[in-house]
Structure 1
Amino acid sequence: MSQLRDIKDRINSVKKTRKMTLAMKMVSAAKFKRFSKSAVSSRFIIHELDYNINQVCHNADGLFDVPLMEPVDSDRDLILVIAGDRGLCGGFNSNILKFSSQYIKQSENDSELMLFGKKAISFFKHSQDPIIGSYENFQETLSIDVIDTIVSECVDLYLSKKYEKIVILYNEFKTAVTTNLISKQLFPIRWDTDDDCDVDQNIIIEPSVDEVLADLCKSYVKYSLYNAFLESSAAEQGARMAAMDAASSNAGDMIDELTLIYNRQRQAQITTELSEIVAGAEALVS
């Protein structure tokens, strides 16, 4: 009897767990929809800014003086790593952290780190590479104003000529269940000399090429960083949604299996009790 009670308790426990995973799946689905929509919209803004930068550079025949676009002679890089604050999202965190670790090892320069997310902070806390900044729960406070603060800090760090380049590593969502691992250079800002620009178009640039390019570069970095956070957040919620869906399915299979075991043992117990009753009745008759 106690064994049946234990199985019944396990069934109830798994049912409660399935309710939790289904609720988490629904929450993640709602967040995924919001973040993915914003991420896709921000891609268009980055494309337009990139096009405008190349258009101005072509129009100026490469004759401009913008510090954010000039290479720096240094033996150090600044690496920005975006991970998550929580688990239960499949391989989302482990993939980007392994990718980041491999990128740092293969880099020819020494690296300093700026980390976003508790998982990244925990992973690199014993690293030999210095950590110059760390941010937690950035998804809850993500806004353009917060991004402006980070961009200003990165601009000051690059203009100090301490780093040869500043790179951001993050997950880019492709679908709800697939992502790409991205390494994107923020500084120095590069322009494509082979880009398909309208070179015959007459462009009036005011007040000057340098000032226009400087503003375009800051906007490009701001929205590139904002897009990276949105992409990472969408990828995390998609991974968590898929993980919770799989967990709910596994919980359902476990409930079915435990219910079958419970019914078999209960039937065996009933059969045993009936046999004992019949045997007792026969003994009384004889």
Structure 2
Amino acid sequence: MASLKEVRNRIVSVNSTQQITKAMKMVAAAKLRRAQDNIMQMRPYAQKLGEMLTTVSSGAESAVDSPLKTVRPIDKVLIVVVTSDRGLCGAFNTNIVKATLLLIEQKYAQQAAKGNVEIFAIGKKGAESLAKRGFVVNKTYMDIFGRLNFVNVKQAAEEVMKAFSDGRYDAVDLVYNEFKNVATQIIHTDRYLPIATEDKTKRTKKAEVNYIFEPTEEEILAELIPKSLKIQLYRAVLESNASEQGARMTAMDKATENAQDLLKELKLVYNRTRQAAITKEILEIVGGAEALKN
């Protein structure tokens, strides 16, 4: 049985840990509110812009050519993985790494066997995990969540678009967590490049829209395509940020509950140990008194 001092030290240690987890939960809750507001404002704009790009680019396929629309035989692949810079958020980062590995296994096994699958990591945890598994991490954007804004994410999107336009990669996929609620995150593995175009044979009459282009189709799409891709990546980062805070809040809440349960057990052990020590002292005193009497 552990001594009273050892049990007392463990109680103090668990108390300190519980205070830390409570504080982290409160911080995550405050950050979650801001992150949730940001993503709720971004979603309608990003969705409408994506729909408009898909429809317009499909209608202008014959007139407008863009290197970002070029479909090539897939030999070299870049996967943009969005994770967090810090841990203590449950299985948030682990699930993204697992989804990335599953994507490579199911979709890019041949390319991976040739060493033609590279990682573009937004967030330190994903970069570290995938680098340990032998993948080439082409670029890592760390500390981006501490100063999260469109300008910083735009730089990452521009690097990815330039690499695809230069022919360094034939396909770019995006893996990230979509925020649903505090306890639930939905993993997405979306095609980022080349940009998707709408199948004309599957259009409904309602979806057919005759656009009037001013100034020209070429100029509008030249501006619209990069902007849409930047917004798409920015939305993924915002989704991941909100998901991270929700996952951290849930993990810290569970850790606080576990600490409380552990404290109850330790206090019970402490009281039993203390009672046993008192009983032992009483027996020793009684035994000594009997020895003196005899």
> TM-score, normalization: structure 2?
0.86
Which region of structure 1 is more displaced relative to structure 2, 267-276 or 155-164? 267-276
* Deviation, structure 1 residue 283: 7.0
**Structure 2 letter corresponding to 1:117:** G
2:167 aligned residue: 161
Pairwise CA distance, 1:145: 1.0
1:59 to partner: Cα distance: 5.5
State the alpha-carbon separation in 2 of the partners of residues 150 and 170 from structure 1: 15
User: Amino acid of the residue matched to residue 8 of structure 2?
Assistant: K
- 1:21 corresponds to which residue? 21
Q: How does 1:84-163 map to 2 (within 5 A)?
A: 84-106=84-106, 107=108, 108-109=110-111, 110-163=116-169
Is it true that 1:269 corresponds to 2:277 in the alignment? yes
Q: How many residues align?
A: 285
- Residue of structure 1 in register with 2:264 after alignment: 256
5 Å-filtered alignment, 1:1-286, equals 3-57=3-57, 60=60, 63-106=63-106, 107=108, 108-109=110-111, 110-193=116-199, 194=202, 203-277=211-285
- 2: CA distance, partners of 1:284 / 1:176: 70
Give the whole-Å Cα distance in 1 for the aligned partners of 2:49 and 2:204: 14
Report the Cα distance in structure 2 between the residues aligned to 1:200 and 1:103, rounded to whole angstroms: 34
**Under a length normalisation based on structure 1, what TM-score does the superposition of the two structures give?**
0.88
- Kept in 1, the 8 Å contact 2:54–2:196? The answer is no
**Conserved in 2, the CA contact under 8 Å of 1:54 and 1:197?**
no
Over the aligned positions, Cα root-mean-square deviation in angstroms equals: 2.5
Instruction: Decide whether aligned partners of structure 1 residues 197 and 277 sit closer, same or farther in structure 2, where only a CA change above 3 A counts.
Output: farther
1:172-227 deviation line (CA, Å, top 9, x unaligned): 12211111111112211113234568556553211111221222211211111011
Distance 1:199 1:271, change over 3 A: closer
Distance 1:126 1:256, change over 3 A: closer
2:39 touches 2:238 (CA, 8 Å); kept in 1? yes
Identity of aligned residues (%): 37
How big is each residue's C-alpha offset from its partner over 1:116-146, in whole Å with a ceiling of 9 and x where there is no partner? 2222221222455433212212211221111
Q: Tell me, which stretches of 5 or more residues in structure 2 are unaligned?
A: none
CA distance in 1, matches of 2:21, 2:205: 50
Gaps of 5+ in 1: none
Contact kept in structure 1, 2:58 and 2:198, CA below 8 Å: no
Matches of 2:23 and 2:172 in 1, distance apart? 39
Distance change (3 Å), C-alpha of 1:69 and 1:281: same
